[in-house]
Chain A
Amino acid sequence: MICCTDGCACTLENCLGGDDIRSLDCGYTAARALAVCAAYSPHIPAHSLLKGSRFASSVRKRAVKRAQCLFIGGGTESGKLTARERILLLLDPDSFDEYDMFVEHRCTDFGMDSSKNKDFTVFGGSLSGAHAQKICKIMDQAAMVGAPVIGLNDSGGARIQEGVESLAGYADIFLRNVLCSGVVPQISLIMGPCAGGAVYSPALTDFTFMVKDTSYLFITGPDVVKSVTNEDVTQEQLGGAKTHTAVSGVAHRAFENDIDALLNLREFFNYLPLSNRDPAPVCECHDPSDRPVPELDTIVPSESAKAYDMLDIIHSIVDEREFFEIMPSYARNIVVGFARMNGRSVGIVGNQPKVASGCLDINSSVKGARFVRFCDAFNIPLITFVDVPGFLPGTAQEYGGIIRHGAKLLFAFAEATVPKITVITRKAYGGAYDVMSSKHLRGDVNYAWPTAEVAVMGAKGAVQIIFRGKEANAEEEYVDKFANPFPAAVRGFVDDIIQPSTTRTRICHDLDVLASKSQSSPWKKHANIPL
């Protein structure tokens, strides 16, 4: 078991054993090796594991030699760290105990030497049976004790030389990813090429992060693409960090380099509970829970067509303005991410009026839905900021299945039983009002700011439909009657109309009250979310 950032346990994949001296002549300098070894020194068996044990001296010597070689890991490609260097940066010092260091793989065909069984630096980190066996072992244990799983992926795919054994290994891992899903948080950090079967493990985990310029995710590489579809495409275009964070939505965030990624992962990890049996973590917090936020009183522009940045609202409400945004460059019309309120981790969902008026479309619905479901699975309260003019109209959206995809977000919010707090900052129109964690979907506390407009649609459109443009001052009348929070408030669909500057105080208080919330849904094998 590995001790991680906050002293909890987690496990790692893709860190296979194997001794190799080759490393030293492929750019891995002695100085670098020394630095890493020094940092690791408490873990070298000579100092801890074997010291004073009853091992025969020859066994001890062999073990120590092997262990020392391993810390060097493989050699390095330019701009990447070795597996053990990565672990060193990711974890709290003094907290990593490696398992199965002595496992060797079994295949010796095709010129493979049993002593050179390694991660990414040898054989491209391709997956062998032994490799998979180690991963499964640690995942089983993680699920059993309730410890998150972090995968640092850097693998070329199945080890072709091993044939079906390698494929079986993949399936074993996939099964465990699925079984662990919703039990312990699973995070993948893609730190190199990750192709073929290897990509499905990250796809099954809760979060996939990438390293810019050095990591790629694709089913088939550019060569195969060229031979099959005759498309010319580079690795970066096909499956680089930019593609997956901005176009495909496969990855949740990208970082500058290995070190940046690992340090950010440490920070991210602190927002999550260890398993679905634990409540959302509560950190020590210096930001007063009753801090007034005066700027919110003027943040929503007076003209209802004018955009503002929902991130400004989020930053000013959460603790210390710290917000870990998930998928910041994909479907930017919805903002999702983690923050803390009075020290407690919360998931935040907000429409972004700055991008496409904050409307819901296919991508934003899917992005939101997946995030909401993660929070629900791991007991993280949800805070939703609503300024939504509706679903995006058009053939592209209808043909793409906006009905089916929009339903995912509706499903996710309705299904969630964690504390749900909603703040309507401005527009909450039509079906999108229902979807965005409305009172009707078991919302616990629903607030409206005085600027809120809860209605079936905008005044102009409504008047056109009702009066066919015949009534001159009907628009004004409609605005007066519907484009405000009162119709919803008198029916109890919003619990209160609050002064925006008090939002933080109210939410912190509500979260304390809702900490003991318990709500259940009818028994079922599992729900059938419209996929």
Chain B
Amino acid sequence: MISISLMPTDRACASLGRSLDRPRCHSCALLLLRLEAREGWIRSRGCCGSWPEHRSRRPYGFRWDTLCSRWCLITSHKLYSSVYDPNEKTFEKLLIANRGEIACRVIKTCKKMGIKTVAIHSDVDANAVHVKMADEAVCVGPAPTSKSYLNMDAIMEVIRKTRAQAVHPGYGFLSENKEFARRLASEGVTFIGPDTHAIQAMGDKIESKLLAKNAKVNTIPGFDGVVKDADEAVRIAREIGYPVMIKASAGGGGKGMRIAWDDEETREGFRFSSQEAASSFGDDRLLIEKFIDNPRHIEIQVLADKHGNALWLNERECSIQRRNQKVVEEAPSTFLDPETRKAMGEQAVALVKAVKYSSAGTVEFLVDSSKNFYFLEMNTRLQVEHPVTECITGLDLVQEMIRVAKGYPLRHKQADIPINGWAVECRVYAEDPYKSFGLPSIGKLSQYQEPLHVPNVRVDSGIQQGSDISIYYDPMISKLITYGSNRAEALKRMEEALDNYVIRGVAHNISLLREVIIHPRFVQGDISTKFLPEVYPDGFKGHKLTDLERRQLLATAASLYVAQQLRSQRFLGTPRIPIAKSKRSSWELSVHLGDGIYPVAVSKHGSSFFVEVDGMKLNVTSEWNLASPLLSVTIDGTQRTIQRISRNASGETSIQFLGTVYKLQILTKVAAELSKYMPEKAAEDTSSILRSPMPGTVVAVSVKPGDMVSEGQEICVIEAMKMQNSMIAAKTGKVKAVHCKAGDTVGEEDLLVELE
């Protein structure tokens, strides 16, 4: 009877694998609750003493802040087990120089620590969740970030006015801005993060690499300079170890890059690259560097105080990325063995000590297929994906950051840092995954419901039903974190959580996330930073239904249709008796799904439907609550959570099934038969019109009516969510009309330019 979802301590006990006296643990939980009112220390023998932190300090005592226990019980943050000591002096008031989920995340911990909070917001965020959560909120400017969240003058003014003693910058915005940290310091306000020196050192790519090298951290081995001849190139390549990458130093990015796997290829690469270096750039220098094949992106969370103590809090695997942005993260990594983990952790700590780092930070590594790891960069802030580390270590990183900033030493030793179970995080974005793995979408969240009823789910979000996803800020809706005693359990929960997540009004990437976490390669842990382009070379197309799944979908859709039809005939308290001649119990339907039309026969038996599709009989049972956004359906014993996104009188229905939204049209057999005779509506000729693929701002229009454009020529540029997108002509022709001008705000599918 251990209630894992509610009591973090139980979870900690269970996952540490200590032999648990079940009733005792349960009674301990009861005891905790009962004693809450007395606000005292709570001692519970045996089971809770297993928590590492207490093992080190008070072998058999357990200390539990009353506020914390209550908070943990009622919020989504049930996955930390940190201790909040009400007697430890801390800041009185803290300003959060950020917005969205990270601002909410920081406020939650501040509340637990008893710190008053000040939120800053822009005009459009006046009703945002972080504004409501904070004790005080001050507007710092209009919507564009440069005028609000990056507006240092305004923020400094707010700090003076509200007398905040410390500032938590979150991530992004001013979090790694040394100027901001300097200005805070000059006014005697504590910056919750490392000092300016560390920010500066780690912010510079060359300097950080140099520092890392000196601290004996593995960096990508390479040679940059004039190579005399092919033999020398081979010698250098052998020193580095194959495979190597050869290119002209002056060439930017991947231009003219050649990969060599042996001596022969090195000679060839040298020949081409040195020629290119001389002819194209007039610069003989070559760069020979270790080529990291199929790299993984694995990072180490570090935590250091101002007294020279530093810890590594294990790794996070962040290889699933699109356009260099992480999508799915997990901790620990399937790939690392304890030795590699330890080596990486120790090098990370060495780097931290070398720069006299304090606060939480992240050291990013590239790891190749043979577990060689190389330093990439260090992020001197709280990372987006910090919750997975919190889940497996039980630490509240925000609390630790605040404590460190206040000058307290760390409470933990390296040996105390556990890996409890497995945590996975999916970044839920308001974007259309079918367009290059995610193009931003904006709009109002007309319906929004987080899957918090699923056990061991944590959702970090800064929005609620009715919130706007605007073009001004990052389109992240939330971070969905699931926890399990092992990876399979965490992934299973993630599947369930994604199915139970209701997001309406904006496009979202749930379908992509769900596909990634059930993909066999991901499940096996065979991932790299190229996972998405490798698995979906032609772009993401949604879940591909198996025959059985298709039948399940058709049966569910048909049953829903019949349930709706039956309900629409049930009137309450009608004065007249219906004069239908017979009570219907079977329906012949025709369901249009994708390119196929499927005949489906439905018959009703009590509360369940028997559905015949493709010659197979399926039994579909549900409560058929047609108003609920989530519908739990049991199809021949298989439970599925589906969402009916929309329906209309014409039989068109969209159903979210296995994460992907399928469009169906359900008609009676006769209507389907007759619909063949309906006229085809002429589709719009899309080659001569240009529509905005997403909402955004027009940055530039490079044509005017009457201009001739050739196919592929840039017509205008649209900026959305910090991305500039070039709109090109789909055919050669004369511009007939231009419907936008620079500076306009356009919506998705808005007409931009017409060609003749």
Identify the A interface with B (CB < 8 A). Answer: 1, 3, 5-9, 32, 35-36, 39, 76, 78-79, 81, 85, 88-89, 92-95, 213-214, 256-260, 263-264, 266-268, 270, 274, 278-279, 281-288, 294-299, 302, 312, 315-316, 319-321, 343
| A79:B670 contact, CB within 8 angstroms | no
Q: A295-B466, A299-B466 are in contact. Are A8 and B578 (CB under 8 A)?
A: yes
Identify the B interface with A (CB < 8 A). Answer: 126-127, 444-446, 464-467, 567-582, 584, 625-628, 648-651, 667-668, 670-671, 673-675, 677-679, 681
The answer, among A258, A260, A284, A315, for a CB contact under 8 Å with B446, is: A315
The CA-CA distance from A3 to B576 in the complex, in Å, is: 13
CB distance from B286 to the nearest CB of A (A): 59
Q: A6-B571, A95-B580, A283-B570 are in contact. Are A81 and B446 (CB under 8 A)?
A: no
Chain B hits for A263, CB < 8 A: 649-651, 671
| A89:B677 contact, CB within 8 angstroms | no
| B582:A94 contact, CB within 8 angstroms | yes
Chain A hits for B650, CB < 8 A: 256, 259-260, 263-264
CB distance from B197 to the nearest CB of A (A): 43
Which single residue of chain B is at the shortest CB-CB distance from A262? B671
The CA-CA distance from A321 to B644 in the complex, in Å, is: 12
| B679:A81 contact, CB within 8 angstroms | no
Q: A282-B571, A284-B572 are in contact. Are A79 and B580 (CB under 8 A)?
A: no
The answer, among B127, B466, B571, B678, for a CB contact under 8 Å with A259, is: B678
| B576:A78 contact, CB within 8 angstroms | no
| B679:A6 contact, CB within 8 angstroms | no
| B465:A294 contact, CB within 8 angstroms | yes
| A278:B575 contact, CB within 8 angstroms | yes
| A32:B673 contact, CB within 8 angstroms | yes
The CA-CA distance from A439 to B626 in the complex, in Å, is: 36
The CA-CA distance from A1 to B576 in the complex, in Å, is: 15
25 A–B contacts, CB within 8 A, in A order: A3-B578, A3-B581, A5-B569, A8-B576, A32-B674, A79-B678, A79-B679, A89-B671, A92-B580, A94-B581, A95-B579, A95-B580, A256-B681, A257-B675, A258-B674, A263-B650, A264-B650, A278-B574, A278-B576, A283-B567, A287-B627, A288-B627, A294-B465, A294-B466, A295-B466
| A302:B126 contact, CB within 8 angstroms | yes
CB distance from B528 to the nearest CB of A (A): 41
* Interface contacts beyond A89-B674, A283-B570, A294-B464: sample of 11 additional A-B pairs, CB < 8 Å, sorted by A: A1-B579, A3-B578, A94-B582, A94-B584, A257-B678, A278-B575, A294-B466, A295-B446, A295-B464, A316-B446, A319-B627
Chain B hits for A343, CB < 8 A: 572
The CA-CA distance from A89 to B651 in the complex, in Å, is: 13
The CA-CA distance from A17 to B575 in the complex, in Å, is: 34
Chain B hits for A268, CB < 8 A: 649
| A267:B649 contact, CB within 8 angstroms | yes
| B679:A312 contact, CB within 8 angstroms | no
In this complex, the member of A266, A279, A298 whose beta carbon has the largest number of chain B beta carbons within 10 angstroms is: A298
The CA-CA distance from A294 to B573 in the complex, in Å, is: 32
The CA-CA distance from A316 to B465 in the complex, in Å, is: 11
Chain B hits for A88, CB < 8 A: 670
The CA-CA distance from A321 to B627 in the complex, in Å, is: 9
Which single residue of chain A is at the shortest CB-CB distance from B570? A284
Chain A hits for B444, CB < 8 A: 295, 312
Chain A hits for B625, CB < 8 A: 286
Chain A hits for B569, CB < 8 A: 5-7, 92
| B571:A89 contact, CB within 8 angstroms | no
| B670:A35 contact, CB within 8 angstroms | yes
Which single residue of chain A is at the shortest CB-CB distance from B623? A286
Q: Interface SS of chain B: helix, strand, loop or mixed?
A: loop
CB distance from B225 to the nearest CB of A (A): 61
CB distance from A481 to the nearest CB of B (A): 24
CB distance from B628 to the nearest CB of A (A): 7
| B580:A298 contact, CB within 8 angstroms | no
| B677:A32 contact, CB within 8 angstroms | yes
| A312:B446 contact, CB within 8 angstroms | yes
The CA-CA distance from A270 to B574 in the complex, in Å, is: 12
The answer, among B446, B571, B582, B649, for a CB contact under 8 Å with A264, is: B649
| A94:B627 contact, CB within 8 angstroms | no
CB distance from B674 to the nearest CB of A (A): 6
Chain B hits for A288, CB < 8 A: 627
| B584:A298 contact, CB within 8 angstroms | no
CB distance from A263 to the nearest CB of B (A): 5
Which single residue of chain B is at the shortest CB-CB distance from A515? B573
Considering the complex of A and B, which 3 residue pairs feature the smallest CB-CB distances, nearest first? A295-B466, A7-B578, A79-B679
Chain A hits for B667, CB < 8 A: 259
CB distance from A450 to the nearest CB of B (A): 13
Chain A hits for B678, CB < 8 A: 79, 257-259
The CA-CA distance from A210 to B577 in the complex, in Å, is: 31
| B674:A286 contact, CB within 8 angstroms | no
The CA-CA distance from A258 to B674 in the complex, in Å, is: 10
The CA-CA distance from A264 to B649 in the complex, in Å, is: 5
Chain A hits for B126, CB < 8 A: 302
The CA-CA distance from A296 to B467 in the complex, in Å, is: 10
The CA-CA distance from A209 to B220 in the complex, in Å, is: 71
The CA-CA distance from A35 to B668 in the complex, in Å, is: 12
The CA-CA distance from A278 to B681 in the complex, in Å, is: 41
The CA-CA distance from A297 to B128 in the complex, in Å, is: 12
Chain B hits for A93, CB < 8 A: 584
The CA-CA distance from A147 to B466 in the complex, in Å, is: 42
Chain B hits for A299, CB < 8 A: 466
Chain A hits for B573, CB < 8 A: 282
| A259:B671 contact, CB within 8 angstroms | yes
Chain A hits for B466, CB < 8 A: 294-299
The answer, among B627, B649, B679, for a CB contact under 8 Å with A213, is: B679
CB distance from A212 to the nearest CB of B (A): 8
The answer, among A85, A281, A296, A319, for a CB contact under 8 Å with B571, is: A281
The CA-CA distance from A256 to B671 in the complex, in Å, is: 14
CB distance from B587 to the nearest CB of A (A): 10
The CA-CA distance from A473 to B205 in the complex, in Å, is: 56
CB distance from A181 to the nearest CB of B (A): 21
Chain A hits for B445, CB < 8 A: 295
The CA-CA distance from A229 to B572 in the complex, in Å, is: 56
CB distance from A93 to the nearest CB of B (A): 7
The CA-CA distance from A458 to B567 in the complex, in Å, is: 47
Q: A256-B681, A278-B576 are in contact. Are A283 and B674 (CB under 8 A)?
A: no
| A320:B626 contact, CB within 8 angstroms | yes
Which single residue of chain A is at the shortest CB-CB distance from B581? A94
Chain B hits for A35, CB < 8 A: 670, 673-674
Chain A hits for B576, CB < 8 A: 8, 274, 278
| A78:B679 contact, CB within 8 angstroms | yes
Which single residue of chain B is at the shortest CB-CB distance from A78? B679
Q: A8-B578, A94-B580 are in contact. Are A283 and B670 (CB under 8 A)?
A: no
The answer, among A3, A32, A78, A214, for a CB contact under 8 Å with B579, is: A3
The CA-CA distance from A298 to B580 in the complex, in Å, is: 47
CB distance from B122 to the nearest CB of A (A): 12
Which single residue of chain B is at the shortest CB-CB distance from A294? B465
The CA-CA distance from A9 to B578 in the complex, in Å, is: 9
Chain B hits for A3, CB < 8 A: 578-581
Chain A hits for B679, CB < 8 A: 78-79, 213-214, 257
| A284:B670 contact, CB within 8 angstroms | no
Chain A hits for B465, CB < 8 A: 294-295
Which single residue of chain B is at the shortest CB-CB distance from A93? B584
The CA-CA distance from A258 to B677 in the complex, in Å, is: 10
Chain A hits for B581, CB < 8 A: 3, 94-95
| A285:B627 contact, CB within 8 angstroms | yes
The CA-CA distance from A274 to B444 in the complex, in Å, is: 38
Which single residue of chain A is at the shortest CB-CB distance from B504? A321
Chain A hits for B467, CB < 8 A: 295, 298
CB distance from B41 to the nearest CB of A (A): 39
| A6:B572 contact, CB within 8 angstroms | no
The CA-CA distance from A275 to B319 in the complex, in Å, is: 66
| A85:B568 contact, CB within 8 angstroms | no
Which single residue of chain A is at the shortest CB-CB distance from B625? A286
CB distance from A128 to the nearest CB of B (A): 27
| B446:A79 contact, CB within 8 angstroms | no
